[in-house]
Amino acid sequence: MARLGNIPGKEAVKAFQNAGWSRLGQVASHVVMVMPEVRVNLSIPQHKELSVGTLRPSSEAPG
């Protein structure tokens, strides 16, 4: 796995979309993403900068 760095929430959403996740909607400041046949939803905060600790559990999600 590539080394993670701090990135904006919008870039994180783009990266997960490129990996096959679909944007389901937005709840407050978080974008909710789903993937067909995966029982896990991703909730990605739309902050200017996301820390590595925020992204790590999402990058390890199935799919």
Query: Domain limits of the chain?
Result: 1-47
CA distance 48 to 2: 21
The pLDDT tens digits for 24-44 are 998 888 999 999 888 888 888
Q: How far is CA 14 from CA 1, 38, in A?
A: 18, 19
Does the pLDDT at position 8 exceed 90?
Answer: no
Alpha helical stretches, state H, 1-63:
9-18, 52-59
- Residue indicated by tokens 């978080």: 30
This prediction has a pTM of 0.72
pLDDT at 52: 67
